[in-house]
Amino acid sequence: MRVPPVAGPRLTVLAGPTAVGKGTVSAYLRQHYPKVWLSVSVTTRAPRPGEVDGLHYHFISDAEFDELVAGDELLEWATVHQRARYGTPRRPVERALAQGHAALLEIDLQGARQVRRSMPDALFVFLAPPSWDELVRRLLGRGTEDAEERARRLATAREELAAEPEFDITIVNDSVERACAELVAHLGLAAAGPDLSDC
């Protein structure tokens, strides 16, 4: 296991199987750990009820996404669940790190692999479910996808679970508070002094 020492603010990549609760972890961090700078991804999927453009995602068109890719504006991007495209705008991440913030990307496995290649010094964290049964329960319990979509996501989840050894550390999402506390302990927040309002 390769765990870089915590020398100050750094980039952390959080990935894990679908429905493991990455979004819940992000939301909890946003609310309870305001010193953590969270990347806001672009996506071509439609907003779900309650999602706010610019806060949860930047919801953009296919043409806009193509432009960002062509302009090399994305640090990584991927087509997720064979449906929509998601990507991390490069410049805000570079700016946050340059300003000394602990920055976190919550992305899928394909994206994590791309960041591993371009920013190998980042910390790669795998968010794991307490068990496979619990993951299935969370996936079906959410009730926001149809049967075909759920089957597609389960297939993706199996592949994603097998990728755990590629990551530096694993955090089990048994409770969001506990998982976030463990994650934050790894983020390099100690030296992350500046206020996020200047970011």
Stretch that binds ligand 5GP, among 60-68, 75-83, 125-133, 171-179 (CB under 6 A): 75-83
Q: What is the contact mask toward ligand 5GP in residues 28 to 67, using x (rule: CB under 6 A)?
A: -------------x---x----------------------
Q: What is the contact mask toward ligand 5GP in residues 86 to 125, using x (rule: CB under 6 A)?
A: xxx-----------------xxx-xx--------------
Three-state DSSP string of the chain: CCCCCCCCCCEEEEECCCCCCHHHHHHHHHHHCCCEEECCCEECCCCCCCCCECCCEEECCHHHHHHHHHCCCEEEEEEECCCEEEEEEHHHHHHHHHCCCEEEEECCHHHHHHHHHHCCCCEEEEEECCCHHHHHHHHHHHCCCCHHHHHHHHHHHHHHHCCHHHCCEEEECCCHHHHHHHHHHCCCCCCCCCCHHHC
Residue number with CB closer to ligand 5GP (60 or 107) = 107
Residue number with CB closer to ligand 5GP (6 or 140) = 140
Closest contact distance (angstroms) between CB of 7 and ligand 5GP is 26
